[in-house]
Amino acid sequence: MAARDGNDGRGAAVPFIGSRMSRLSAWIGGAAIADAGDAGPIADPERDGHRALFADIGAFLDRHALEPSVAHYQIARTYILRESHPLSCSIDDRLFAGGTIDAAFLHRLTNRPSHDPLSPERIADMADALAARLTETECTFRQSHASARDYEQALTVEAGSVDSDPDGTVKRLLALTTQAIARNRLLADRLEETHRETNQLRRNLHDARRAADEDHLTGLPNRRCFDRRLHALPATQDGAAPHCVALCDIDDFKAINDRHGHDTGDRVLKLVARHLTNELGIAVLVARHGGEEFACLFEDCTPEVAFDLLDGARAALGGRILVNQTTGDGIGRITFSAGVASLGDDPGAAMRAADAALYAAKRAGKNRIAFPPEDDVG
């Protein structure tokens, strides 16, 4: 899906390169696209981004000596774009362990029974494993301390017999030292192994917690994350700008799905997610609230300022004409409606007011921003 620019580019010829995979990588990542009159390269950042993605996919397949099949291409694309947390974690863990990413591994990866890697039980298991590794590390440190203490005591004992039995003392000291070195090496190896496993478990746990707060399609925070942040927000201090919330809903989204299919609908959701994030800025928390609805949290921001920011984002999105890249069919303009409400002291009431404002915008003709109706204020 891309903005219509009226130019249908064609890839320039690519010289012969040795391997089939190298030729594929060079073709999909290489020459600039020219228009029908060969007037020179056309600047198209979105198309350049797709070409870079194709090149990364080709490099992934080439690096792991994978056949350029449709299945392998899809897995590589999903992994590079981090569109599936379980798949990405499985491949990352395999690479971290020095394993091979071959066709057999990918087949097992995509055909094994599905399970929820982010279930409370799964996260609890990872937390328990991390706690066990930390306990093991503590035990190893205690053993190291005890070993050093035993060695010190043995040296003290042998020091008392050095005058009466110097040769025997030297032999016993050498044996004690050899044993101490061997024990220390063994403990050091165990510490190193435990350290690696602990770090991997920490990364897995961090990824699981982060993914539990993330919408897997758009990459935005999900409703769970938004609600936690909303309820944790401290009350507005006297004299400070108030906080406010907004609910945004893509207009006529069902018609897009019905006409162009759910894949195109998913791309529209991702487009709107990126657009809201870019237009509203990093100070505003934008989350996917469910379906085609997005929630926005404006901290230290009056409803009037939030209204203007959303209205600017609405106008910018509505000014684009989109096409379905897969079929070439026109999608047209994508618009959204939104409702804005002051947060106040009751987050639940604020969200209900924003929802009432959203539906007021829908009833008024869509593609607009609204405040709550007077009956819903307070």
For the annotated catalytic residues, the residue numbers are: 292
Instruction: Give me the residue label for tokens 């002051």.
Output: 342
Residue 166 identity (one-letter amino acid): P
Residues whose CB falls within 8 Å of the CB of residue 307, separated by 6 or more in sequence, listed in order: 340, 369, 371
The whole-angstrom separation of Cα 32 and Cα 41 is 6
The whole-angstrom separation of Cα 178 and Cα 166 is 18
Fill in the DSSP letter of residue 221.
B
Residues whose CB falls within 8 Å of the CB of residue 47, separated by 6 or more in sequence, listed in order: 2, 9, 33
Residue length of the chain? 378
DSSP 114-171: P--TTSHHHHHHHHHHHHHHHHHHHHHHHHHHHHHHHHHHHHHHHHTTTTT-HHHHHH
- Cα atoms in the Cβ-side hemisphere of radius 13 Å centred on 165: 10
Structure tokens at 178: 């050899």
Q: Give the closest residue to 106 by CA, choosing from 155, 160, 67.
A: 67
Q: Give the closest residue to 280 by CA, choosing from 300, 304, 307.
A: 307
Instruction: Give me the residue label for tokens 């990866």.
Output: 109
